[in-house]
Amino acid sequence: MTTYRSRPPALLGLTRLLPIVALVAPIMSAPAAQFLRFEAVSRDQGAELVGGGQTVLRLRPGMKINGGTAALATELNRLALAGLQPAALTVRTLPTGVQIVAGKTPLLLIDKATARLAGTTPDALAAEWLANLKAVLASPYVVLTPADGLAVPLGETRQLRWGGTAGVDITFAVSDTTVASVQLAEQGNALIVQGLKPGAVMLTASLDGAARNLPVEVRAWAARIAPRIVAEITAPPLPEDDLRRTLRNAVLSGLQPAPGASIELGEPRRVGDGYAMPLHAAGEGCFEVNCAVPVDVRAVKLSLPPPQQLLVSNLPEKIAEPGTLLRERLVGKVPVRLLWHHVNFSGRPLRFAVRVINRGDTPARLHVTEAASGPHHDEIHVGHSAAWRYLALAAQGEGYVLNLPAGRMLDLYDTRLPVDYIVSGVGQITLLEGTDLLLEVLAEDSWPTDAYFAAIPQRLKDDPPLTPYCF
């Protein structure tokens, strides 16, 4: 256990000390300082506002104060942190009722209906509640915030602040210094708590005769996000589905998920000159991440040679069962053109995907121009639509850059393929960075529940057989 001594709050909120007056009376000791916190407490027959273990006000069923007891407790804790004095509390009469104020800050309004339910008048009820509140604030006090404890991400710091009216020393002790360390901030009344390893410890704050235990939990984030996320494209603007794919890939490429964490991405939305992608990351023993990740879109110029290879995924054209329909290596920096055209004859819906597998030890970058059509029941329609769209996109140089971590897989395209429906597509893939990549076209029974790059299965880590459809 390590103890740190704080600097005293120096009578927060007081502008002067009371003069010493000589009286013939017994010497009385000064009241001891206390830890103070205002809380809203639910009861079977209403609600209460409690401060320092004393009931400040009680609301019976039907009685209302503006904002409710929870909002009032929050506001009083904020004011007490700044050193709220009993003398700052007053009442004023308004056309709608009697209001209790702290300086210039309105706290609560008591109308006739609320007072009637208490069997009294607004003036009398305000006087009662005001007296209770002043009594709570009469003794020197210290307020800690956050009052319920600290959640500290691994490797990061969080602050515990204090204030009030007590001019006393505060000591802080943490039960296990290998989990969290503490030190006083150089300025202000604040304690800096740093998370050193996952675990739970108790932080104890002590005054003369009073102590407050605050739980401190240290966990890793389910995912860490790079400071800046950029999606690279050529010949903007992109079609909507291509833009969505490159935005999602940019966010995933900028993540560092904790082991075993799951990643879910929402639909991107336009924000100013860029986009925002909703992100939810969760994992056992981790703090969840819920945020909108900003993504910048940057146009890049790439000088790409014409394709030298054509990969055709059409045999079998009719998919009888889940399996790999095409598998080929991606080598060098020469563009590869891929054509796929399949119909689902398996008797059940399948997930159809075009996938890149990075078996190398370094991240890979690919430029992709892709046009898919379907699912549809008319094979002429899907084939014509895919080819027409691809030729238009290729003519204008449209495309986007995708990133793929080492040892991971990335679906360039995927769709749900109903029974007897056809899917067709044309794509051009250029390996910009990386080595030892595979390209697969496959139909599978399972639908992934996680947006993050899947790990390579063992069957693909060796030298899996290739299909003879490279021209």
Q: Tell whether the model's pLDDT for residue 7 goes beyond 60.
A: no
Contact 271, 297 (CB under 8 A): no
Strand partners of residue 355: 411, 440
Is the pTM value of this prediction over 0.85? no
> Given pLDDT bands bounded at 50, 70 and 90, which one contains residue 323?
very high
When pLDDT is averaged across residues 48-62 and rounded to a whole number, the result is 92
User: What pLDDT, on the 0 to 100 scale, is given for residue 15?
Assistant: 29
| pLDDT of res. 165 | 94
Of 27-31, 48-52, 118-122, 409-413, the poorest mean pLDDT is in: 27-31
Token pair in block for residue 207: 């005054």
Grade residue 208 by pLDDT with cuts at 50, 70 and 90: confident
46: phi then psi, degrees, rounded to nearest 5: 135, -145
pLDDT tens for 135-145 read 999 999 999 99
Strands 210-221 and 323-330: unpaired
- Compute the distance between CA of residue 53 and CA of residue 174 in angstroms, rounded to an integer: 25
d(CA 247, CA 236): 13
Give the mean model confidence (pLDDT) for residues 194-209: 93
At residue 463, the pLDDT reads: 81
Angle of CA points 311, 312, 313, to nearest 5°: 120
Write the DSSP symbol of residue 336: E
pLDDT tens-digit series, residues 81-125: 999 999 999 999 999 999 999 999 999 999 999 999 999 999 999
The pLDDT of residue 19 is above 50:
no
Place of tokens 């336009």: 270
Assess whether pLDDT exceeds 80 at residue 221: yes
Fold designation for 142-221? Immunoglobulin-like (2.60.40)
Q: What percent of the chain has a predicted confidence (pLDDT) above 70?
A: 93
| 450 or 73: which leads in pLDDT | 73
DSSP type of residue 307: P
Mean predicted confidence (pLDDT) in 35-43: 92
- The number of helices, as runs of H, and strands, as runs of E, in the chain is 5, 35
Domain ranges of the chain: 55-140, 142-221, 223-299, 309-460
Contact 350, 417 (CB under 8 A): yes
Edge-to-edge order in the sheet of strand 408-417:
323-330, 437-444, 350-358, 408-417, 454-455
| CA dist., res. 81 & res. 132, Å (int) | 19
